[in-house]
Amino acid sequence: MTVVTNAAEEVVLRVNELSLEYRLRGAGPKTLRAVDGVSLELRRGETLGLVGESGCGKSSLVRTIFDINVPSSGSVEVFGQRLAELRPKDRRQLRNRVQMIFQDPYSALDPRLSAHEIVAEPLRIARRYSKDRVVELLESVGLSAEVMDRRPAAFSGGQRQRLGIARALALDPDVLVLDEPVSALDVSVQAQVINLLKDLQQRLGLAYLFIAHDLSVVRHISDRVAVMHLGQIVETGTAEEIFANPVHPYTRSLLSAAPVPDPRARSSRRRVVLAGELPDAARRPSGCSFRTRCPIAQEQCSQQDPTLVSTGSPTHQHACHFPEDSQRSVAPAMT
Amino acid sequence: MSTEPILDVQDLTVVYQDDRGRDVPLVEDISFTVLPREVLCIVGEAGSGKSVTMLAVMGLLPPELHITSGSIRYRGEELVGMPEKRRRALRGKEMGMVFQDPMTALNPVKSVGSQIGRALSVHNRRLAWGDRDQRVAELLASVGVPQPKRRSRLYPHEWSGGMRQRAVIAMAIANSPSLLVADEPTTALDTTVQAQVMEALETARETSDAAMVMITHDLALVAQVADRVAIMYSGSFVETGSVYEIFDSAQHPYTKGLLASILTEYSDTNAAFAIPGSPPAPSQRPEGCAFAPRCTSAGKDAACLERPALLPMPGSGERQRAAACHHPGTELLNAPYAAPAAERAGAR
């Protein structure tokens, strides 16, 4: 396996002003903009947490990164090369370096294949199969070679997720895109998988794009965090900046909505500050997409769509017209 | 608070028959009581038997599962063996249920309003149509559904997930039950919507003055709503107590492990605490203490080959604070994470 020396600053995955529109049929709006001008950078060995509610465009973004959907505008670069401009063969080669871990380890594995075949499949396709490599991969995720002949049904949820991770590692990727990798697992097993992911990251120098709605997990594993609302990034910064000093009212309400595991905390704060749910992406509100749910929205918010601006820190950006009001009046930070 | 329990479950055992005709216990000898207006949270992982327990209470066990012993009393009335007709009169009227997935809990081909209306009229034959619609709108408004009159005419697929779960809650409280049973009511929802729905559930519970049994695996949620907590592992309760007792001074190593594995800002960023292994399938529960194979407590020894009883802790009163461990209170060993290669992964 590749040993990574100091190439820490290298950008392995870059998403540039990416937009994705779906065409709609029938009456009403003709298009739905699922991803709206998203830019992200992922450096070698780091973890970027992507947070947002269901319907915010996380999955559309992932599908575009994997070339399943063709972007309406913008581009995806892997190691500085634009996927869209490559010949199919080169594109496939490059795509091997970005792999995916799915949310549901029950549906992500073919129930008729043995553990051995599941991990061997990508190796066979790349004509790099060897049994030793399969054993090595299984052991690297904490599964012993004895379980090779068993089918997914014989494994627990946590073990299946390990199997999915072994399969994703088969072709020595540099980037893993993890879509809610622990949310389908039992509580006592989640921490095991998180620890395994951290361990693998250190050993293999992997970069993670970690998508989740569970903020405590994101906080635990991420170096940087991007918060997504209705197709747009509304705040981005280091994990510390986002959790200790959130600026955007949406980020603040996400943090305050997470229940605190302490019975004494219940009377001391009101958790619900957000009214309503994510608006329909096909009927996006004018101006700021968050204004219909925002406790501090003003006239300007319906007229002008805020863009990402710096908060003063070079790593911390937000898209809100009234960041000061937000800090004064919207629920406190997660403490 | 009256001391007469709303729900009194004693020594309940539920089994299913496997292919070879053997009885496999899913729930073994569990006992608990719920007082009026009290909130009991049953915490456990997949396969721990928590949902089976609640299905038994509601009388909704699938035909292949049987109650082999024990009693379930609702306001002193025995539910085990009760004729279905009487059961139906209780279910939905005295006992309301909120299911995990609002999409499957609602009928896709009937409007939401007509389903809630049905829950009302089934228990009150003389309810006039106009009154019924009025009551449905009131119920929907009380759980925070905007434009309840208009929305009640829509079908479940036209409602968002959070709104659907509110509708299910409205249906559960339609007849002002004394007991609400909620099975992972917010697991399928996003964090912000989860907070809204929990708030709606709490308000609904308070206004209808009902007691509640909530099943969940989310300890943070437990901390928010529970009065009492029962921790379930592998078909049995391993620890019970008030929410403060459980969070402040857990005795069982499983409870301690669950609490320690909650990720917070204080968690060690390099290695979070993790309970090793995974919970056993019901057909493969170990002899003796079911948790022993995963136990990282210093107390593990020969005694653990014997199944520990759920014993009251010294000094605990009528509402017992109890733990099923031979060595309650021993510290967790601080070796949360072995190197992956050394970890053995047996089949489930």
Distance CA A207, CA B151 (A): 46
In this predicted structure, the answer to whether residue A5 has a pLDDT above a threshold of 60 is: no
CB–CB contact A188 B278 (8 Å): yes
Partner-chain residue, chosen from A257, A261, A274, that has the shortest CB–CB distance to B262: A261
| Sequence spans of domains, chain A | 11-97+173-329, 111-172
Is the model more confident about A71 or about B265?
Answer: A71
- Whether residue B245 lies inside any domain: the answer is no
Q: Can you tell me the mean pLDDT for A151-170?
A: 93
Is the model more confident about A148 or about A28?
Answer: A148
- Whether residue B234 lies inside any domain: the answer is no
Most B CBs within 10 Å, among A192, A267, A268, A272, to test the B interface: A192
CB–CB contact B341 A266 (8 Å): no
Query: Are B318 and B191 contained in the same domain?
Result: no
CB–CB contact B347 A141 (8 Å): no
Most B CBs within 10 Å, among A135, A156, A165, A199, to test the B interface: A156
pLDDT tens digit string along A16-54? Answer: 999 999 988 887 788 889 999 999 999 999 999 999 888
Among B176, B191, B226, residue at a domain's last position: B226
Q: Note down the domain range covering B279.
A: 251-342
Partner-chain residue, chosen from A54, A159, A257, that has the shortest CB–CB distance to B345: A159
The domain total for chain B is 2
- Whether residue B281 lies inside any domain: the answer is yes
Decide the pairing of beta strands A317-318 and A309-310: antiparallel
What is the signed CA dihedral for A191, A192, A193, A198, rounded to 10 degrees? 80
Contact assessment for residue A75 and residue A82, using Cβ atoms and an 8 Å cutoff = yes
- Tokens representing A89 are 């063969």
Contact assessment for residue B120 and residue B137, using Cβ atoms and an 8 Å cutoff = no
Partner-chain residue, chosen from A191, A215, A243, that has the shortest CB–CB distance to B272: A191
**Which chain B residues are closer than 8 Å to A191 by Cβ?**
261, 263, 272-275, 336
Query: Are B131 and B170 contained in the same domain?
Result: yes
**A11-97+173-329 fold:** Rossmann fold (3.40.50)
% pLDDT > 70, chain A? 92
**Which chain B residues are closer than 8 Å to A264 by Cβ?**
244
Query: Are B161 and B308 contained in the same domain?
Result: no
Most B CBs within 10 Å, among A46, A186, A273, to test the B interface: A186
Q: Which residue of B has its CA nearest to A183?
A: B187
pLDDT tens digit string along B217-271? Answer: 889 899 999 999 999 999 999 999 999 999 999 999 999 999 988 876 556 566 6
CB–CB contact A216 B263 (8 Å): yes
B193 vs chain A: nearest CA distance in angstroms?
7
pLDDT for residue A3: 43
- Whether residue B337 lies inside any domain: the answer is yes
**Complex prediction ipTM:** 0.77
pLDDT for residue B316: 66
Q: Which residue of A has its CA nearest to B267?
A: A220
pLDDT for residue A73: 94
A83 vs chain B: nearest CA distance in angstroms?
33
Query: Are B166 and B24 contained in the same domain?
Result: yes
A94 vs chain B: nearest CA distance in angstroms?
29
Query: Are B214 and B334 contained in the same domain?
Result: no
pLDDT for residue B22: 87
Is the model more confident about B46 or about A321?
Answer: A321
CB–CB contact B341 A216 (8 Å): no
Distance CA A221, CA A227 (A): 15
Contact assessment for residue A122 and residue A171, using Cβ atoms and an 8 Å cutoff = yes
At A117, the pLDDT band (50, 70, 90 cuts) reads very high
At A105, the pLDDT band (50, 70, 90 cuts) reads confident
Query: Are B176 and B74 contained in the same domain?
Result: yes
Looking at residue B37, which CATH number applies to its domain?
3.40.50.300
A224 vs chain B: nearest CA distance in angstroms?
14
Number of alpha carbons in the 13 Å side-chain half-sphere of residue B242: 9
- Whether residue B39 lies inside any domain: the answer is yes
The secondary structure of chain A, three-state, reads: CCCCCCCCCCEEEEEEEEEEEEECCCCCCCEEEEEEEEEEEEECCCEEEEECCCCCCHHHHHHHHCCCCCCCEEEEEECCEEHHHCCHHHHHHHHCCEEEECCCCCCCCCCCCCHHHHHHHHHHHCCCCCHHHHHHHHHHCCCCHHHHHCCHHHCCHHHHHHHHHHHHHCCCCCEEEEECCCCCCCHHHHHHHHHHHHHHHHHHCCEEEEEECCHHHHHHHCCEEEEEECCEEEEEEEHHHHHHCCCCHHHHHHHHHCCCCCHHHCCCCCCCCCCCCCCCHHHCCCCCCCCCCCCCCCHHHHHCCCCCEECCCCCCEECCCCHHHHHHHCCCCCC
- Cβ contacts below 8 Å, chain A against chain B, sum to 160
Mean pLDDT score of chain A: 87
In this predicted structure, the answer to whether residue A334 has a pLDDT above a threshold of 50 is: no
Among B226, B243, B275, residue at a domain's last position: B226
CB–CB contact B274 A191 (8 Å): yes
At A197, the pLDDT band (50, 70, 90 cuts) reads very high
Distance CA A293, CA B74 (A): 43
CB–CB contact B348 A154 (8 Å): yes
Query: Are B206 and B255 contained in the same domain?
Result: no
**Which chain B residues are closer than 8 Å to A154 by Cβ?**
347-348
First CA to last CA distance, chain B = 45
CB–CB contact B263 A220 (8 Å): yes
* Cross-strand partners of A13: A42, A78
Query: Are B37 and B171 contained in the same domain?
Result: yes
- Whether residue B235 lies inside any domain: the answer is no
At A270, the pLDDT band (50, 70, 90 cuts) reads low
**Which chain A residues are closer than 8 Å to B265 by Cβ?**
219, 243, 334
A82 vs chain B: nearest CA distance in angstroms?
34
Partner-chain residue, chosen from B220, B222, B272, that has the shortest CB–CB distance to A195: B272
CB–CB contact B263 A219 (8 Å): yes
**Which chain B residues are closer than 8 Å to A162 by Cβ?**
345
- The structure tokens 């009760």 sit at B82
Query: Are B200 and B324 contained in the same domain?
Result: no
Q: Which residue of B has its CA nearest to A218?
A: B263
- Tokens representing A298 are 């003003």
- Whether residue B237 lies inside any domain: the answer is no
Query: Are B17 and B93 contained in the same domain?
Result: yes
Q: Which residue of B has its CA nearest to A259?
A: B220
Q: Can you tell me the mean pLDDT for A288-314?
A: 90
- Whether residue B168 lies inside any domain: the answer is yes
pLDDT for residue A260: 82
Among B192, B210, B226, residue at a domain's last position: B226
pLDDT tens digit string along B35-72? Answer: 999 999 999 988 899 999 999 999 999 999 999 999 99
The stretches in chain B having pLDDT less than 70 are: 1-2, 264-271, 298-299, 315-318, 333-348
